[in-house]
Chains A and B, each alone.
Chain A
């Protein structure tokens, strides 16, 4: 149990275009999901907290108009990178916390490359 999926697993896009990444909790309901970004050889940096039915909470320094987060249901959160630039190229990982405990369940990640 506690499986989180992400789609796509990798994507290449041109500079200036937008990319949507989906994060789904497959066998549990997630009232809260988190989005992280990981650059090569670096740690996971929290970008935002996504709450079902309400606006996301962004970490300092993360542009909310550039990284659009929608959590329309208890099993789906989406991250849209708008007007992507090469510096947005990174590994994006979502996680979901069930209501029963502290542990978080990570998606497999999405490798975004902006050319």
Chain B
């Protein structure tokens, strides 16, 4: 089955800096790659996603890149703010729409002002 590796496990940046989180996946059939932000005790919140037919997607300060050949995808946050501090998870799902998400182990991002 699918296995998703995520790095780093913790990331500390200064306000205004950029943050990059990287994930690799094992199943070449995976075709949907979302990123979630989770605050303590809350449900995961989708912040951006990308499908395998696209190499990059951007939404204001957040961008995701996908390299299908290398089976890795990355989250880029620019101009970080203290409110970006949270745990971020990458995930992957394979085959047709509606299949289960397999999550990476998460990255705790701390943005200090």
Chain A residues in the interface with B (C-beta under 8 A): 31-32, 34, 42-46, 49, 91, 93, 95, 97-104, 106-109, 111
Contact = CB atoms under 8 A, between A and B. Distances in A.
Interface stretch (B60-68, B70-78, B92-100): B92-100
Given A43-B103, A43-B104, A44-B89, A97 B44 contact: no
Interface size class for chain B? 20 to 34
Interface of B: 32, 34, 41-44, 46, 49, 51, 89, 93, 97-106
A108 B42 contact: yes
Contacts of B98: 31-32, 97-99, 102
A43 B46 contact: no
7 contacts: A34-B101, A43-B89, A43-B103, A44-B44, A97-B98, A106-B43, A108-B43
A1 B1 CA distance: 32
The 4 closest A-B pairs by CB, nearest first: A97-B98, A102-B32, A106-B43, A43-B103
Given A43-B106, A97-B97, A111-B41, 4 more contacts: A95-B101, A102-B32, A102-B49, A102-B98
